[in-house]
A and B are shown apart, each in its own frame.
Chain A
Amino acid sequence: MATVRLSFSPAPVHVRTARLVGVAVARRAGVAEELLDEVRLAIGEACTRAVTLHRQYHLSELVTVEMSDSDSYTVRVIDHAPIEASVGLTKLPPDELADESLTDDALTTGVGFALLAGFVDDLQVRPVEDGPGTEVRMVWPVGRR
């Protein structure tokens, strides 16, 4: 069961709010202080990805962030973009990062996924159960229960 659920219209300005809430709930849940910067970055990246996809597909539906602290701190970021938009999430090799042919969007997507994969040990990207969309699920350990 989600402890906190936040839904926001797919506008870049709201991503900061999601980060702030995500870190506040993580701190309250008992996530170690030294992990909070990574939690902030990962939630930001997942929300940025969702907002970017909604804008790309002209979707006005809300992006949802669910934070739960039952056994660990679990954050689910849910978008409603077509599932094929998630295909091709991959880490780019260094020699391609500054390649002229790489578009800014492709670069940002690749770098964003590299950050998610690099900062979240327990990361899953999977289709949502109802309708189009993907769920980015991130789990961090909590120090006290």
Chain B
Amino acid sequence: MELSLATRTVAEHTVLEVGGEVDVYTAPRLRERLIELVDAGARDVVVDLERVEFLDSTGLGVLVGALKRLRTAHGTFGLVCAKEPLLKIFRITALDQVFPIFPTVEAATERDGSGPAS
């Protein structure tokens, strides 16, 4: 399935819902959208991965890039992911120690929920 991207606002957080496959072909579109959001002033960003069917190292690199960008802008960045296959990818790469990962959008958008992007 092709990449799908949709943005909404929840509790003053910008939530980017990602669906489909995030790989070496589609990841540049995700990178562009995240840069656009930060350039447009978004500072508390949550990326919802619940509808992602495939995520590779290129996609992970884009997410780390967004984390760094928001850290520089004194913002926050969190992920929503409850799927075990995706969580395993974060564990194997040790990126579960880098990203705040929440089981639901509600948990990620609670006040101070996503914490500092560091």
Residues of A within 8 A of B (CB): 12-13, 15-16, 19, 37, 40-41, 44-45, 48, 51-52, 91-94, 97-98, 100, 104, 107-109, 111-112, 114-115, 118-119
Q: Is B10 an interface residue (CB 8 A)?
A: no
**CA separation between A52 and B64, bound complex, in Å?**
19
Residues of B within 8 A of A (CB): 21, 23-25, 54, 56-58, 60-61, 64-65, 67-68, 71, 85, 89, 92-95, 97-98, 118
Give 17 A-B contacts (CB < 8 Å), ordered by A residue: A12-B23, A12-B25, A15-B25, A16-B21, A16-B23, A41-B89, A44-B54, A44-B56, A48-B57, A93-B94, A94-B95, A97-B94, A97-B95, A104-B65, A108-B61, A111-B60, A112-B58
Kindly provide the distance from the CB of A88 to the nearest chain B CB, expressed in whole angstroms: 15
Taking A97-B64, A98-B67, A115-B93 as contacts, is the C-beta distance between A45 and B57 under 8 angstroms? yes
* Across-interface contacts of B21 in A (CB, < 8 A): 16
**CA separation between A114 and B92, bound complex, in Å?**
7
Q: Are A98 and B68 in touch, CB under 8 angstroms?
A: yes
Q: Are B92 and A118 in touch, CB under 8 angstroms?
A: yes
Q: Are B93 and A15 in touch, CB under 8 angstroms?
A: no
Q: Are A16 and B25 in touch, CB under 8 angstroms?
A: yes
Q: Are B98 and A111 in touch, CB under 8 angstroms?
A: no
* Across-interface contacts of B95 in A (CB, < 8 A): 94, 97, 111
**CA separation between A100 and B93, bound complex, in Å?**
18
